[in-house]
Structure 1
């Protein structure tokens, strides 16, 4: 409480063009660097009333929400309305994740990582996408088709690899080539 009182005394007492109290810190004369005695000011009774409203709003919020509101206010974000908030009690925490699909993705990733270089004939660089299809899996991998100095000039090939549901490779094709440092398409 004492901290809030000291902060309000250090706040500029001038009114902004929209009639709100200036939020900048005040100097010794009670005004910020932009305002002075010639500007309209908040009377002491208005300032006290505003502080009471702010304190009442803070007291109505549970502690964890008040901390979140302080963090969002300092970051410049907008507070959510009651309709936009999610009640933690209403969230179904027992959502079943498909462990088989996760295991399948990991299996496909291991298969593609271990075979892409040999299959395509270039040095494996990374897996950028794995997705299920009607016939199994589709993986997009990147391989280094040509090394260069600096490495931002490496030529990278993007290949689509088709796999069956058991992660057995059935085919591949190149879908794109680009220089490693060329990010214009991805921005």
Structure 2
């Protein structure tokens, strides 16, 4: 029981949005960096009970990993032992080299091609005729930078990473990320 009390003090005692106990380490006040006294908490008896259940499950080999929202536990057949994975699996080096060549071309030419400051590459996909890259450029700077106007452009390249055209597909404020979530 003393071990359970020690464990409950080491783990944050706040409840997460899905009603589970927070798995982060606790500070001196019993909460992690993200939680405080205003958050709902697990009582000490619940914490001790959770610890005992975890110990019993570990003895029987049926420990359930903590889950994030929307995830499902894997069965024993689905789990892979890292030692059994073939370390000699060969990746397609040519495809990786092609993607890197496209990325390099897009990075070096996007700002000059579009006429605005290059901000980043957000997508590179192969097409029937070559490659398609989506880049972001700063169309207008602002203070604070979360108010910058960002343009998303689609750039078409052939198989040799030669640019054949581009078009703007979207425009947004840097701080407006809701449309991408």
- TM-score normalised to the size of structure 1? 0.60
> 1:162 Cα shift?
0.6
Equivalent residues in 2 for 1:27-176 (5 A)?
Answer: 54=56, 58=59, 69=63, 72=65, 75=66, 80-88=74-82, 91-176=85-170
Alpha-carbon displacement from aligned partner over 1:30-57 (angstroms, at most 9, x marks no partner): xxxxxxxxxxxxxxxxx9xx9xx949x6
* Displaced runs of 4 or more, over 4 A: 75-80, 87-90
Inter-partner Cα distance in structure 1 for 2:108 and 2:152: 16
Give 3-state SS (helix, strand or coil) of 1:112's partner. Answer: helix
Inter-partner Cα distance in structure 2 for 1:177 and 1:148: 15
Computed over aligned residues only, the root mean square deviation of the Cα atoms, in angstroms, reads: 3.4
Asked which structure has the greater CA Rg, the reply is 1
Inter-partner Cα distance in structure 1 for 2:74 and 2:168: 46
CA 1:88 to 1:179, structure 2 compared with 1: closer, same or farther past 3 Å?
A: closer
> 1:89 Cα shift?
5.8
CA 1:79 to 1:165, structure 2 compared with 1: closer, same or farther past 3 Å?
A: closer
Alpha-carbon displacement from aligned partner over 1:85-118 (angstroms, at most 9, x marks no partner): 2244653433221101111111111111111011
Alpha-carbon displacement from aligned partner over 1:42-76 (angstroms, at most 9, x marks no partner): xxxxx9xx9xx949x63x86xxxx9xx59x4xx47
CA 1:89 to 1:153, structure 2 compared with 1: closer, same or farther past 3 Å?
A: closer
Inter-partner Cα distance in structure 2 for 1:160 and 1:101: 20
Inter-partner Cα distance in structure 2 for 1:103 and 1:85: 31
Inter-partner Cα distance in structure 2 for 1:8 and 1:145: 56
Unaligned residue ranges in structure 1 (runs of 5+): 11-21, 27-46
Which one of the candidate residues 25, 32, 57 is aligned to 2:48? 25
Size of the aligned set, in residue pairs, is 137
Unaligned residue ranges in structure 2 (runs of 5+): 7-44
